[in-house]
């Protein structure tokens, strides 16, 4: 057991380094002055290189071999922890330290350029920096793929969603591609026969929006002794263990975007705050990949908080906060606003029926870029053509097109499919939760998330990385990931199907 005990101490140190990087990453997006970008890039790179050196130390490999030889004497959590340690070691050992540093610095630099390029809709300014990030990520994918026996894209995907492969994603996305365009058309035709929902009359002062967001976070179960809410250009959930930091962005002319953004990121944060305390500093105590992480944010935002029950709770809260009067502030109107289906340019603002099209497009583009079939210079045209094909929209500017997301400038190739995989898992988990706990929906109508959060704590959060993704879904819902519950949810909510 000595080898395993020593490894546990080593990985606790790695967890602390990752936490430090998480706080620096949060600061980069929320507080850091632009002039500090190069220095911050160096800091982030140093942390990643130190962690890489620890992971690739020959002694780490020797201890893994020794611990695995004694695995029969370990308990299920310890064996799962050892499995995750080995996974991390294999990923790290495949990539040279100088490539780790170069990729980290390039991503930090590219993110800062992206901020300016996005604001000015100037893709040409971003292009050389994004090309460098892509080049380095392709090298990372090739290096990992050679060791893991995977394609470069699958190797990158495995870093975000362990065990997920293109061969698993493609049939799921094909099922959605076959159904959703017609479904979008039918839903829009139906909504066109109804009186349009009334817009909520503003303005909506940022100070009130923030207080309202904090109120909803508390209702959902967010622990403010271990987290906070801030502002960033692109909403995210970050921070560190027991210090979970989420962000949103505000528009005084509209309130629902910021509120739904807060609820979405709160779903991520609840997962982080619900991880098992005994294993929080070990690999097995981490969240089980980004598809499940995205399932938690989408379950809270889309499944729970765009339903009629939650809108019944939210309507009087909004009326009181903004002194609202009239039909626009009713629960029914609020629900119709929350479920309005209309193709749009911005992914993060998309409704849940058209949202998968945004992900299918980005998945198509990033797999082509990593495979070398799409040059960065051709990205704007390919993006615009895809929006026309999938959503029937003509993109007027790169700001509303390929510049809208931070993922590629930040080097996150392989992340995008986890959003729609997460939507599938969210529908599956929410259906199982409501069947198991009948008070979930009535609770949401009272602003009481405790019945839902209790089920999620037991079936998802507390399991952390004990199980592989499909194994966790089978344990929680009775079946592996599929499209059936998601499509049934859309038909039920938008077409009234039983």
Containing domain of residue 138, as a range? 2-160
CB atoms under 10 Å from CB of 122, counted, come to 16
Q: What is the DSSP string of 239-292?
A: EETTEEEEEE--BTTBSHHHHHHHHHHHHHHHHHHTS-GGGTTSGGGS-SHHHH
22 and 30 in contact (C-beta within 8 Å)?
no
Check residue 489 and give its pLDDT.
97
State the Cα–Cα distance between residues 64 and 402, nearest whole angstrom. Answer: 43
For residue 277, give the nearest of 426, 462, 147 by alpha carbon.
Answer: 462
Pair 484, 388 in one domain: yes
Which band of pLDDT confidence, cut at 50, 70 and 90, is reported for residue 497? low
For residue 465, give the nearest of 345, 318, 286 by alpha carbon.
Answer: 286
Asked if the model's pLDDT at residue 332 lies above 70, the reply is yes
Pair 258, 374 in one domain: yes
Asked if the model's pLDDT at residue 9 lies above 80, the reply is yes
Catalytic-role residue among 78, 111, 132, 265: 265
Of the residues 131, 160, 189, the one at which a domain ends: 160
State the Cα–Cα distance between residues 403 and 114, nearest whole angstrom. Answer: 8
Pair 151, 178 in one domain: no
Rounded mean pLDDT, 475-493: 97
Check residue 276 and give its pLDDT.
97
Q: Could you report the per-residue pLDDT of 254-284, keeping only the tens digit for each?
A: 999 899 999 999 999 999 999 999 998 999 9
Q: What share of the chain is helix, strand, coil (3-state, %, to 5)?
A: 70, 5, 25
Pair 156, 230 in one domain: no
Q: Which residues are CB-contacts of 438 (< 8 A; sequence separation ≥ 6)?
A: none
Pair 312, 358 in one domain: yes
Pair 442, 301 in one domain: yes
Pair 126, 190 in one domain: no
Asked if the model's pLDDT at residue 1 lies above 90, the reply is no
Q: Could you report the per-residue pLDDT of 57-81, keeping only the tens digit for each?
A: 999 999 999 999 999 999 999 999 9
Pair 398, 412 in one domain: yes
DSSP-assigned letter for residue 410: T
- The helix-helix angle for 152-160 and 166-192 (nearest 10°) equals 70
Asked if the model's pLDDT at residue 449 lies above 60, the reply is yes
CATH number (domain holding residue 249): 1.10.1370.30
Of the residues 160, 177, 209, the one at which a domain ends: 160
Pair 23, 75 in one domain: yes
Pair 142, 226 in one domain: no
Sign of torsion, CA 10 12 16 19? positive
State the Cα–Cα distance between residues 468 and 425, nearest whole angstrom. Answer: 14
458 is annotated as an active-site residue? no
Of the residues 137, 160, 183, the one at which a domain ends: 160
For residue 109, give the nearest of 95, 96, 97, 126 by alpha carbon.
Answer: 126
Pair 320, 174 in one domain: yes
Residue 395: exposure state from Cβ atoms within 10 A (0-12, 13-18, ≥19): buried
Which band of pLDDT confidence, cut at 50, 70 and 90, is reported for residue 233? confident
DSSP-assigned letter for residue 329: G
Pair 396, 428 in one domain: yes
Asked if the model's pLDDT at residue 24 lies above 80, the reply is yes
How many domains, in total, are found in the chain?
2
Average pLDDT, the chain: 96
């Amino acid at each position: 057991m000595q080898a395993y005990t020593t490894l546990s101490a080593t990985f606790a140190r790695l967890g602390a380094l990752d936490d430090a990087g998480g706080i620096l990453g949060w600061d980069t997006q929320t507080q850091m002055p632009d002039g500090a970008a190069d220095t911050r890039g160096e800091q982030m790179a140093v942390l990643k290189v130190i962690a890489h050196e620890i992971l690739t130390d020959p002694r780490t490999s020797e201890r893994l071999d020794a611990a695995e030889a004694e695995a029969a004497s370990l308990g299920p959590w310890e064996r799962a922890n050892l499995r995750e340690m080995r996974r991390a070691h294999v990923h790290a050992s495949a990539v040279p330290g100088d490539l780790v540093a170069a990729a980290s610095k390039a991503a930090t630099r590219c993110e800062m350029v992206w901020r300016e390029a996005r604001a000015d809709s100037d893709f040409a300014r971003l292009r050389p920096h994004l090309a460098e990030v892509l080049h380095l990520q392709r090298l990372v994918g090739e290096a990992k793929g050679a060791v893991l026996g995977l394609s470069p894209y699958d190797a990158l995907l495995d870093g975000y969603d362990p065990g997920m492969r293109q061969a698993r994603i493609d049939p799921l996305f094909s099922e959605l591609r076959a159904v959703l365009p017609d479904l979008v058309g039918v839903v829009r035709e139906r909504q066109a026969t109804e009186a349009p929902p009334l817009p909520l009359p503003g303005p909506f002062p940022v100070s009130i929006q923030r207080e309202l967001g904090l109120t909803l976070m508390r209702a959902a179960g967010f622990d403010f002794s271990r987290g906070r809410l801030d502002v960033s250009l692109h909403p995210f959930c970050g921070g560190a263990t027991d210090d979970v930091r989420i962000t949103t962005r505000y528009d005084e002319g509209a309130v629902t975007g910021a509120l739904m953004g807060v609820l979405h990121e709160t779903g991520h944060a609840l997962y982080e705050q619900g991880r098992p305390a005994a294993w929080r500093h070990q690999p097995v105590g981490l969240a089980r990949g980004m598809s499940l992480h995205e399932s938690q944010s989408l379950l809270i935002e889309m499944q729970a908080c765009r339903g009629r029950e939650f809108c019944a709770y939210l309507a009087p809260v909004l009326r009181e906060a903004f002194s609202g009067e009239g039909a626009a502030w009713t629960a029914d109107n609020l629900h119709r606003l929350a479920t309005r289906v209309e193709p749009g340019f911005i992914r993060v603002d998309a409704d849940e029926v058209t949202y998968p099209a945004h992900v299918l497009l980005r998945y198509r583009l990033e797999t082509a870029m990593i495979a070398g079939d799409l040059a960065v210079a051709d990205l704007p045209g390919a993006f615009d053509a895809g929006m026309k094909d999938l959503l029937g929209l003509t993109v007027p500017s790169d700001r509303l097109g390929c510049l809208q997301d931070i993922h590629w400038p930040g080097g996150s190739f392989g992340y995008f499919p986890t959003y729609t995989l997460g939507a599938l898992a969210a529908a599956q988990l929410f259906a199982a939760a409501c069947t198991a706990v009948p008070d979930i929906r009535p609770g949401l109508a009272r602003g009481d998330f405790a019945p839902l959060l209790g089920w999620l704590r037991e079936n998802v959060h507390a399991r952390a990385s004990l199980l592989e993704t499909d194994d966790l879904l089978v344990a929680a819902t009775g079946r592996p990931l599929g499209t059936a519950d998601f499509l049934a949810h859309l038909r039920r909510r938008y077409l009234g199907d039983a």
